[in-house]
């Protein structure tokens, strides 16, 4: 009796088995990896805003300090989003006819806040406080990146728990002198005090900064 | 039948699962419909008058820091009114070094920060009262810096300057 399968069927069967195993592994890799991509986490993906505000222009171009707009960053948990009044401090006099700024002018005229779309969002069970990080030597760019190079704002870090604990478990290397907190281009140089010296300077305790209750209540 | 019921129950319970990122607080903030009647002579908490503090080095340093954040965009580091925003078309403010402002009482600078002046908007919600005094003190130091003579330098330090 003639064989049902030709010899080449062996190869086909092996390929199909291997392919199935491969597809299964790829599925697991995708299931694990896809939620961790910058695409899903919106890292470095710009968000449409009512006004295409450029941090690059205002910070690098004009040299305006972070705190000119984010006034409460040193004293409150929330860094503060500027009211329209702050925008109009300058734009009542310059670029007064720019179509781009019409929503800003309308906002002030009608006393209706501009609704910006949130970029950095933390889950509500995380009690993050800006002021303590500023006071203890963590600079803006450690989490928000080189904001002065962003024509349109986007999230620069994943802001996952892993991101937070990577620093909370070893804060020293991420600390900087108080004078450099708002320097968006700062990086560690030979003159920078050692991580251990900065830990001591800021009285950062040996107590475990990865305790649950540091961030969760 | 029991297995089916258990299965349905599991799904019913699981349907409540999410990643808990949204957790509305039980006590949500509800603003008053209309502002309650405020007794006369009251001011907002942040706007209460603060007496001018004694001028110390710490006050001047604080003033310098705040000045660099909020004032230099227009008034420039020197206080001559040629800051970056003025270079980009904002009407130039007067220099701090003119006679009128050199003669002005320090309260004048406090009031201008609080209420604005000419094209300058109020900075009341950006600069707290104590910081306004600090900035005013620093402006005085700036004025001195542009009108100092060698006689102002202590005798033992003059050698370094010349």
Span A28-41, mean pLDDT? 93
Q: Which H helix or E strand runs over B2?
A: helix B2-14
Looking at the domain assignment, is residue B89 inside a domain?
yes
pLDDT at residue A207 above 80? no
Residue B106's domain comprises 56-148
Looking at the domain assignment, is residue B132 inside a domain?
yes
Looking at the domain assignment, is residue B113 inside a domain?
yes
pLDDT at residue A93 above 80? yes
Looking at the domain assignment, is residue B46 inside a domain?
no
Contacting B with CB below 8 Å, chain A residues are: 62-65, 67-68, 71, 83, 85-86, 88-90, 92-94, 121, 123-125
Residue B127 maps to which CATH number?
Answer: 1.10.760.10
Q: How many CB pairs under 8 A join A and B?
A: 52
Structure tokens of B107? 């309260």
pLDDT of residue B36: 60
pLDDT of residue B109: 95
pLDDT of residue B17: 73
Structure tokens of A22? 């491969």
pLDDT of residue A85: 94
Which residues of chain B lie closer than 8 angstroms to A89, CB-CB? 120-121
Per-residue pLDDT of chain B (162 residues; tens, 9 = 90+): 788 888 888 877 777 677 788 887 776 666 555 556 667 777 766 566 678 899 999 999 999 999 999 999 999 999 999 999 999 999 999 999 999 999 999 999 999 999 999 999 999 989 998 999 999 999 999 999 988 888 888 888 887 776
Q: State how far residue A67 is from chain B, nearest Cα, in angstroms.
A: 7
Q: pLDDT, tens digit, for every residue of A133-190?
A: 999 999 999 999 999 999 999 999 999 999 999 999 999 999 999 999 999 999 998 8
pLDDT of residue B34: 56
Looking at the domain assignment, is residue B39 inside a domain?
no
Span A198-216, mean pLDDT? 88
Look at B90 and A93 and tell me if their CB atoms are within 8 Å: yes
Q: How many domains does chain B have?
A: 1
Which residues of chain A lie closer than 8 angstroms to B89, CB-CB? 93-94
Cβ–Cβ contact B26 with A under 8 A = no
pLDDT of residue B133: 95
Using CB atoms, which residue from A65, A67, A90 is nearest to B85?
A90
pLDDT of residue B77: 94
If we measure between CA atoms, which residue out of B68, B54, B58 comes closest to residue B142? Answer: B68
Look at A62 and B73 and tell me if their CB atoms are within 8 Å: yes
pLDDT of residue B152: 82
Look at A93 and B69 and tell me if their CB atoms are within 8 Å: no
ipTM: 0.86
Looking at the domain assignment, is residue B31 inside a domain?
no
Looking at the domain assignment, is residue B47 inside a domain?
no
Look at A93 and B125 and tell me if their CB atoms are within 8 Å: no
Looking at the domain assignment, is residue B50 inside a domain?
no
Look at B125 and A85 and tell me if their CB atoms are within 8 Å: yes
Residues 6+ apart with CB under 8 A from A192: A176, A177
pLDDT of residue B158: 80
Residues 6+ apart with CB under 8 A from A66: A59, A73, A140, A147, A182, A184
Torsion angle defined by CA atoms of residues A68, A174, A164 and A64, in that order, rounded to the nearest 10 degrees: 10
Instruction: Judge residue B74's burial from the number of C-beta atoms within 10 Å of its C-beta, 0-12 exposed, 13-18 middle, 19 or more buried.
Output: buried
**Quick check: helix, strand or coil at residue A203?**
coil
| Alpha carbon B58 to chain centroid, angstroms | 17
Q: pLDDT, tens digit, for every residue of A44-66?
A: 999 999 999 999 999 999 999 99
Which residues of chain B lie closer than 8 angstroms to A85, CB-CB? 121, 125
Cβ–Cβ contact B121 with A under 8 A = yes
pLDDT of residue A58: 95
């Amino acid at each position: 009796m003639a064989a049902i399968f030709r010899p080449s069927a062996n190869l086909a069967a092996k390929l199909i088995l291997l392919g199935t195993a491969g597809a299964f592994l790829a599925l697991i890799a995708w299931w694990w990896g896809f939620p961790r991509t910058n695409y899903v986490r919106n890292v470095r993906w710009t968000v449409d805003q009512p006004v295409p505000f450029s941090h690059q222009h205002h910070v690098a171009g004009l040299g305006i300090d972070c705190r000119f707009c984010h006034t409460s960053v040193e004293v409150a948990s929330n860094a503060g989003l500027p009211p329209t009044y702050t925008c109009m401090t300058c734009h009542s006099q310059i670029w007064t006819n720019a179509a781009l700024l019409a929503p800003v002018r309308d906002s002030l005229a009608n006393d209706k806040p501009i609704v910006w779309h949130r970029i950095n969002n933390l889950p509500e069970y995380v009690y993050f406080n800006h002021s303590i990080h500023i006071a203890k030597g963590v600079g803006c760019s450690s989490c928000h990146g080189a904001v002065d190079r962003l024509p349109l704002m986007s999230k620069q870090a994943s802001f996952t728990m892993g991101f937070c604990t990577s620093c909370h478990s070893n804060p020293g290397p991420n600390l900087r002198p108080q004078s450099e907190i708002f320097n968006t281009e700062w990086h560690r140089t030979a003159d920078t005090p050692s991580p251990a010296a900065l830990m001591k300077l800021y009285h950062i305790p040996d107590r475990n900064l990865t305790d649950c209750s540091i961030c969760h209540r | 039948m029991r297995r089916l019921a258990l299965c349905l129950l599991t799904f019913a319970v699981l349907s409540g699962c999410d990643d808990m990122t949204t957790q509305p607080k039980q006590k949500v903030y509800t603003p008053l419909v209309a502002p309650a009647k405020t007794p006369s002579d009251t001011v907002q908490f942040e706007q209460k008058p603060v007496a001018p503090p004694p001028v110390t080095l710490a006050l001047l340093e604080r003033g310098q820091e705040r000045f660099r954040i909020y004032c230099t965009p227009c008034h420039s580091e020197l206080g001559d009114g040629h800051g970056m925003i003025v270079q980009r078309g904002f009407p130039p403010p007067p220099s701090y070094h003119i006679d009128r402002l050199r003669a002005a009482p320090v309260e004048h600078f406090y009031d201008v920060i609080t209420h604005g002046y000419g094209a300058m908007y109020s900075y009341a919600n950006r600069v707290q009262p104590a910081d306004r005094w600090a900035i005013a003190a620093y402006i005085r130091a700036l004025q001195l810096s542009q009108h100092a003579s060698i006689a102002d330098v202590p005798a033992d330090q003059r050698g370094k300057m010349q």
